[in-house]
A and B are shown apart, each in its own frame.
Chain A
């Protein structure tokens, strides 16, 4: 036996990125803009969608949702009452549930997504601030929700996630009066890690700031048309 060194020089995530590219081609062909929505568990992703999606039809944007969860269809059930097409994607095939969506999981769910009937697809990733940032799914934009019940230093602890997102929604601002939370410090930390980020302050519960988020979705949705 003889040992040979083989030069590889390949991104270990190339396989995922190739599939993400195939997803992207399908989205482009259908003229659908895709947003990858991420957050820690419990930051309020689904509540934000419940609050904001119904008004999108008035803005001429047909929206669909792909719900990624380790198990169950609780989130999809909440969205479906809005009469919005929603597809549940569970990640618990294998041992335990995957903690994120990757390109292949999204690809497997695409046949169930009515791409020709929507303009904007929101992919709600599994609640997690680490792994989802690593795996492209073929999205046009990444965004995240963080909430004032988390720490102000979250961006410094999870820079990979905060840097990957063009929009950071700070949720649950209705709770600020009950908390010792410095929202300005959180925003400064977000901008230190990602100076290009758009930051919005929102209460998905009261609806404060939700209009701005709806406008952002409408403007992102218009990108597909502009690029075509």
Chain B
């Protein structure tokens, strides 16, 4: 259910950067640890974006694996299940390197012809 609110947050962020232009594509980076269900997010994104300049935009989600680092032995590894324990050192301080991202990476917008010439690539 949090996908509804997350979709609202995404649409708000996208609209801020679109500056009124029609949005055709949105690329997100979402870490595995965020527990986001992609299909549900896409479903709500379409609902929240309706009647805005996000309506009809396609959503692309870049999945970021959950990578940990042991602060003791410096080992780095990825996890598939929620086990935040170093396999070598046992319980202790573990840092999350990646997997907590919830970023709008980029958007694609429709520009007027003239503006396109000066738009950064």
Contacts and interface: CB of A to CB of B under 8 A. Distances in A.
Q: Are the chains A and B members of one assembly?
A: yes
B109 A195 contact: no
Interface in A172-200: 191-196
A1 interface: yes
A201 B64 CA distance: 36
A8 to B, nearest CB: 5
A181 B83 CA distance: 22
A192 B82 contact: yes
A89 to B, nearest CB: 16
B108 A4 contact: yes
A56 B10 CA distance: 41
A1 B13 contact: no
Given A2-B111, A134-B2, A10 B82 contact: no
Given A11-B102, A160-B34, A193-B84, A100 B108 contact: no
A11 B34 CA distance: 13
Nearest to A1: B110
A15 interface: yes
Contact of B82 (A13, A16, A98, A155): A155
A130 interface: yes
Interface string A5-18: 11111111111100
A191 B112 CA distance: 55
Interface in A6-51: 6-16
Given A1-B111, A4-B108, A4-B116, A12 B6 contact: yes
Interface of B: 1-2, 5-6, 9-10, 12-14, 17-18, 24, 28, 33-35, 81-85, 91-94, 102-113, 115-116, 119, 121
Q: Which 3 A-B pairs have the closest CB atoms?
A: A2-B116, A159-B82, A131-B2
Given A2-B116, A4-B111, A159-B33, 10 more contacts: A3-B24, A4-B116, A8-B103, A10-B13, A13-B102, A131-B2, A160-B35, A163-B33, A192-B82, A195-B85
